[in-house]
Structure 1
Amino acid sequence: MRDELLLGIDLGTSSIKANAIDRHGRSIGLGVAPTPFAGNTHGVEMTTDALFAAIRAAVTELGVLTSRIAAVGVASMGETGTTIRADGPSDLPLVAWHDERGTEIVDELVGRFGSEAIRRRTGRAPRNVTSIAKLGWLLRNGHTPGGTWTGVAGLTVWKLTGALAQEQSLAATSGAFDPVTGEYDREILAFLGLDSLVWAPARIAGTPLGRISAAGAAWSGLPVGVPVTIAGHDHPVGVIGSGGDRTEAIDSMGTGEPLVVSWDARTAAGSHPGWPGQLGDLTITSWPGTAEHMLLWENLRPGLAMRNLQRALRVSRDDIEFSAIRVDAEPLDLATLVGMQDGAIPPSLLDRPAEEAWAATLEGYAAASADAEGRLRELSGVTGTTLLIGGGLRSRRWVEAKQRHAQHPLAMAAEREAVSRGAGLLAGVAAGWWAPEQYPPADTVPLTSERSS
C-alpha cells in the first residue's frame, strides 16, 4: 500500500525516539520520551518496566500513524541489556553503559589475558563500559543473571515479537565478541563465570527476526504481523540514516565525536588493525545491513570540554558561539583538550578573551579529528568525501574550523534524526522495500574547505 510507513526506534542514552518514515525516507511523524535512567546508591540504571513504558509513550505520540506501520527497526545505545528467561525478562537492572561499575572486572580480565590480546580477540580495548564488565559486577553483588542475554534493542524485539535475538554491531559492544568471525569468545566468558548464559545469536541488521504478536500489538499499538528487525548500535545506524556510505569518512560531531570508515577484514588476514594507544580507542564493528565492517575511533568528547569551558567562562552558549565566528586562534593541543573533557581548564586559557578561548578549543578539536581521520584513511584505504553529521553542525564556528583543517572534500548532512531514520531504513530491508545500501538518499550539502578554495 502506498500509504504504508516504516518505524525506526532509537533507544538513546537521554531520549527514546519513534520516527515514522515514508517510502522516500522522509519523516512523517516523530514521538519522543525521556530514557528513564536514574541514579541510586549503586550508580545509573533503569528497570525493564520503565524502559517499556518509555518506548510505549514515544510510539503513542505518533497517534494514528501507528496503524500504517509496515515494519519496525530498533537501534540502541550499546552495552546496556538484560537476560530473558522462559517466563520473561529477569529482574536485573539495566545498567547505563557510562556507569562506572565493572572497573575491577576489567582489571581482572587484563591481568588474565592482557590488553593487547583482548583487543585482538574482540576488536576493541578492554573497558568498563562493556556488557561483560557490568554483568560481572552484578554476578558478584547478589544477582543471578540466568537466561539469554541481549541488549535493550533485543529486549524491545522480544517485547514486540517474543523472539530472542541480537545484532552484530550491538554484540560487539559486549566485550566478548569478535566482529570479524562473528563468534562470542567463550574463554573470556568462562573466566568471568558468564559461560552459563545463552548469548542471543548475532544477526545482520535488517534481518526479519520476528513479527509483532498479539501481545506485542496490544502493548505497542502497532499492527499484528509486522516484521521487526534490530538495526544496530546507534553510531553505525546514524551513519546510514545521515546518508553516509562506504566511500566516505564520517565525522559525527556532538558530545562525543566518533569517526567512522569502512574496513575490509578480508585484507587483514584475520588480524585486527593496530592503533597507537595514546590515540584512544579504535574499535571494529559491523556496517549495518551487510557482512562488511567499519572502524570506529572514539577519543574526543568535544561537548564535554565545551560545556566545562562555558561554565568556567560564565557565558551563554549562544553568545559565545556568535562572538567566536571568524575569530582567529591557534588550536589547542590534544593533551589539553582531553584534560578539558575531565574539567581541567588551563588558567592561561581563561586569561584570553572568551571568544578566543572558544575558537582555540574548536580549532584544536578540528585539528585532532583531522589527524585521526588521516590515520583511519591509511588503515582503511577510504579516499572519498568527509561527511559531517550530528548536532555539532549547529555550531558555525566549529564548521569553520572543520573547513580550515580538512584534508579532503567536505559535505554536511542535513538529516538531524539520523539514528531513528537509519533504523527505519533498515526496517525497510526487513519489509523487502529495498536491498541493503539501496536506501532513499538523504540530503547533504557540499562545503568548501580552505585548502581547496
Structure 2
Amino acid sequence: MRDELLLGIDLGTSSIKANAIDRHGRSRGVGVAPTPFARGAHGVEMTTEALFDAIRAAIDDLGVLATRIAAVGVASMGETGTAIYADGPSNLPLVAWHDERGGEIVDELRAEFGDAEIHRRTGRQARSVTSIAKLGWLARNGYDARGTWTGVAGLTVWRLTGALAQEESLAATSGAFDPLRGEYDRDILSHVGLDSLVWAPARIAGTPLGHISPDGAAWSGLPTGIPVTIAGHDHPVGVIGAGGDRSEVIDSMGTGEPLVVAWEARPDAPHPTWPDQLGDLTVTAWPGTPRHMLLWETLRPGLATRHLQRALRVARDDIEFRAIRVDAEPLDLATLVAMQEGAIPAALLERPAEEAWAATLEGYASASADAEARLRALSGVSGTTLLIGGGLRSRRWVEAKLRRASHPLAMAAEREAVSRGAGLLAGVAAGWWTPEHYPPADTVALSSPASAPPPPPLAEPATSAIAVGHGTP
C-alpha cells in the first residue's frame, strides 16, 4: 500500500528515537524518549523493563503513524546487552558501554594473549567498553551469566518477535568476534569464564529475523506479522542513513568522531593495522552487505570540549561564536586524548577562552585529517569526504576541516541518520529495495581541495555546538 511506512528505531546512549519514513526515504514523524541509563551503586546501567518502557514511549510518540508501519529496523549502541533464557530476559543489568567496569578483565586478556594476538583474532584492541569486559565483571560479582547473549537491538527484536539473533557489526563490539570469519572466539570467551553463555547468531543487517507476534503487537502498538531486522551498530547504520557510500571517507562528527571507510578483505587477509597502532582501528561489517568497513575511533571531541567548556566557565554557544574568526595553532593528539579524560592543560586555560576553543577544534581537525590520509592509503578509497553528525552545527570546526581538505568535502543534510538508516534496512527486510539501492539522502558540497571558500550557513544557533550522545554519529 502506498501509505505504508518503515520504522527505524535508534537505541542511543542519550535518547531512543522511532523514525517513520516513507518510500522516498523521508521522515514523516519521529518519536523520542530518554534512554533510562542511571548511575547506581556499581556504575551506569538500566533494567530491561526500563528499556522496554522507553521504547514503547518513543513508538507511542508517533501516534497514528505507528499503525501504518510495514517493517521495523533496530539500530543501537554497541556493547550493551543481556542474556535471554527460555522464559525471558535474565536479571542482568544493561551496563552502559561507557561504564568503567571490566578493566581488570581487559588486563587479564592482554596478559594471556597479548595485544597483537587479540587484534589478530578480533580485528580490534582489547577495551573495557567491550561486552565481554562487562560480562566478565558481572559473572565475577554474583550475576548468573548463562542463557543466550544479545545486544539491546537483539533484545528489542526478541520482545517484538520472540526471535533470538544478533547482527555482525554489533557482534564485533563484543570483543570476542572475528568479523572476517563471522565467528566468536571460543578461546577468549573461555578465558573470561563465559563458556556457559550462548551467543546469538550474527546475521547480515536487513535479514528478516522474525515477524511481530501478537504479544509483541500488544506491547508495541505495531501491526502483527510485519518483518523485523537488526540494522546494526549505530555508527555504521548512521553512514547508511546519511547517504554515505563505499567510495567516500565518512567523518562522523559528534561526541565521538569515528572515521569510516569501506574495506575489501582479500581471502585469508589479516586484520589491518597501522604501524604505530595509533588509536583503535577496528574492522566491522558494512550494513546490509557481506563487505566490511574500517573505523578509526580515537577521537572524542564532545568529551574534550565539554570538559574545556566547564573549565573555562563560559556558555558553549557564546564561545563557539567568539572563536569563529580566531587563528590558533592546533593542539597535538596526546593533549586532545588527555582532555577527553578531563585533563585540561593549565597553559591552555591561561589563554583567552576563544583561543583555547579554536586551538582545540583545530587540533581535532588536524588529527582527523592525518587519520583520513592513513585510511585512504590503507583502503584505496579516493572519493569525497562526507561530514555527518551533530558536530556540523559548529561552523568553526567545519572551517578548520575545510582548510585541511585533501579531497572534495561535502556535508550530510540528514540529522536523524541512525534512525533513518535503520528504517532503510527495514525496507530491505520488507523487500522494498535491495541493499545499497536506497532512496538518496541530501548532501551539500562544501569545497574542492583546490578552493575552500567559507561554508554556507550550517544551522540555526543550537544549544550545543557539538552533539552529545554516543548514538548520534
Q: Does 1:281 align with 2:294?
A: no
Instruction: Give the aligned residue type for 1:122.
Output: T
Q: Does 1:105 align with 2:94?
A: no
Partner of 2:463: none
How does 1:144-163 map onto structure 2 within 5 Å? 144-163=144-163
User: For 1:294, what is the secondary structure of its paired residue?
Assistant: strand
Q: Does 1:271 align with 2:267?
A: no
Partner of 1:353: 352
How far apart, CA to CA, are the structure 2 residues paired with 1:159 and 1:344?
A: 42
Partner of 2:460: none
1:449 is displaced (CA, Å) by 5.2
8 Å CA contact retained: 1:412, 1:447:
yes
1:60 is displaced (CA, Å) by 0.5
| TM-score for both structures, normalised by structure 1 | 0.98
8 Å CA contact retained: 1:404, 1:451:
no
How far apart, CA to CA, are the structure 1 residues paired with 2:296 and 2:76?
A: 18
Partner of 1:312: 311
Q: Does 1:20 align with 2:28?
A: no
User: For 2:282, what is the secondary structure of its paired residue?
Assistant: strand
1:99 is displaced (CA, Å) by 0.8
Partner of 2:330: 331
Instruction: Give the aligned residue type for 1:442.
Output: A
How far does the alpha carbon of each residue in 1:360-409 deviate from its partner, in whole angstroms, 9 at most, with x for none? 11111101000001001111010000000000000000110010111111
Partner of 1:37: 37
Worse overlay, 100-109 or 432-441 = 100-109
| TM-score for both structures, normalised by structure 2 | 0.94
1:352 is displaced (CA, Å) by 2.1
How far does the alpha carbon of each residue in 1:4-24 deviate from its partner, in whole angstroms, 9 at most, with x for none? 000000000111000000001
How far apart, CA to CA, are the structure 2 residues paired with 1:89 and 1:276?
A: 43
How far apart, CA to CA, are the structure 1 residues paired with 2:449 and 2:407?
A: 10
How does 1:289-308 map onto structure 2 within 5 Å? 289-308=288-307
1:450 is displaced (CA, Å) by 6.1
CA-based RMSD of the aligned residues comes to 1.1
1:451 is displaced (CA, Å) by 4.3
Identity in percent: 82
Unaligned runs of 5+ in 2: 453-473
How far does the alpha carbon of each residue in 1:93-113 deviate from its partner, in whole angstroms, 9 at most, with x for none? 111111111111111111111
8 Å CA contact retained: 2:408, 2:449:
no
How far apart, CA to CA, are the structure 1 residues paired with 2:187 and 2:128?
A: 18
Partner of 1:393: 392
How far apart, CA to CA, are the structure 2 residues paired with 1:188 and 1:344?
A: 33
How far apart, CA to CA, are the structure 2 residues paired with 1:239 and 1:229?
A: 17
How far apart, CA to CA, are the structure 2 residues paired with 1:313 and 1:103?
A: 31
How far apart, CA to CA, are the structure 1 residues paired with 2:438 and 2:69?
A: 18
How does 1:187-198 map onto structure 2 within 5 Å? 187-198=187-198
How far apart, CA to CA, are the structure 1 residues paired with 2:159 and 2:50?
A: 13
8 Å CA contact retained: 2:384, 2:409:
yes
8 Å CA contact retained: 1:19, 1:421:
yes
Q: Does 1:404 align with 2:400?
A: no
How does 1:110-259 map onto structure 2 within 5 Å? 110-259=110-259
How does 1:360-399 map onto structure 2 within 5 Å? 360-399=359-398
Runs of 4+ residues over 6 Å off in structure 1: none
Partner of 2:462: none
User: For 2:257, what is the secondary structure of its paired residue?
Assistant: coil
How far does the alpha carbon of each residue in 1:48-96 deviate from its partner, in whole angstroms, 9 at most, with x for none? 0010000000000001001100000000000110111110111111111
Instruction: Give the aligned residue type for 2:13.
Output: T
Worse overlay, 192-201 or 84-93 = 192-201
How far apart, CA to CA, are the structure 2 residues paired with 1:348 and 1:130?
A: 35
User: For 1:107, what is the secondary structure of its paired residue?
Assistant: helix
Unaligned runs of 5+ in 1: none
8 Å CA contact retained: 1:251, 1:388:
yes
How far does the alpha carbon of each residue in 1:259-310 deviate from its partner, in whole angstroms, 9 at most, with x for none? 000001116x420111245521000000000000000001111111111111
User: For 2:347, what is the secondary structure of its paired residue?
Assistant: helix
